């Protein structure tokens, strides 16, 4: 799927989040005074792919975004994105399915 086709298929909120992530990656790279070439080499990707990431291209694999975050020292929170303990909606739905006795703590 081409980048423009995949972007149009995504919800607006997802496109905005990816653009923000890409911009945040670019800022982090520049703050660390790392060139695109250095980050691309360390992530085993091309400079063109890094450019696409910094633009928030949804056609770039999640693994590449994760690798770049690792290279920049920002991957520690990646595993917490869908943490079940931080999922307020999921926890609420799960609590609703508990028997009344379990919900009241008896």
- pLDDT digit string (tens) for 76-89? 999 999 999 999 99
Q: Which residue range is the domain that position 50 belongs to?
A: 3-78
Please state the domain count of the chain: 1
In a domain, 56, yes or no: yes
In a domain, 39, yes or no: yes
Query: Of 10, 25, 16, 11, which is closest to residue 66 (Cα–Cα)?
Result: 25
Token reading at 75: 């991957």
In a domain, 18, yes or no: yes
18: domain CATH number is: 1.10.260.40
Query: Of 13, 21, 20, which is closest to residue 72 (Cα–Cα)?
Result: 21
In a domain, 22, yes or no: yes
Q: Which residue has the higher pLDDT, 5 or 30?
A: 30
Q: Supply φ then ψ for residue 48, to 5 degrees.
A: -60, -40
Quote the CA–CA distance of 39 and 32 in Å, as a whole number: 10
Quote the CA–CA distance of 70 and 91 in Å, as a whole number: 30
pLDDT, one tens digit per residue, over 40-76 is 999 999 999 999 999 999 999 999 999 999 999 999 9
């Amino acid at each position: 799927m081409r980048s423009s086709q995949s972007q149009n298929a995504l919800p607006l909120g997802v496109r905005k989040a990816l653009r923000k992530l890409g911009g945040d990656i670019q800022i982090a790279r520049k703050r660390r005074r790392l060139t695109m070439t250095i980050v691309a080499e360390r992530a085993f990707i091309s400079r063109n792919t890094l450019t696409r990431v910094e633009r928030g291209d949804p056609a770039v694999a999640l693994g590449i975004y994760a690798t770049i975050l690792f290279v920049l020292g920002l991957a520690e929170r990646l595993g917490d994105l869908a943490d079940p303990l931080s999922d307020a909606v999921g926890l609420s739905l799960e609590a609703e399915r508990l028997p009344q006795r379990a919900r009241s703590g008896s």
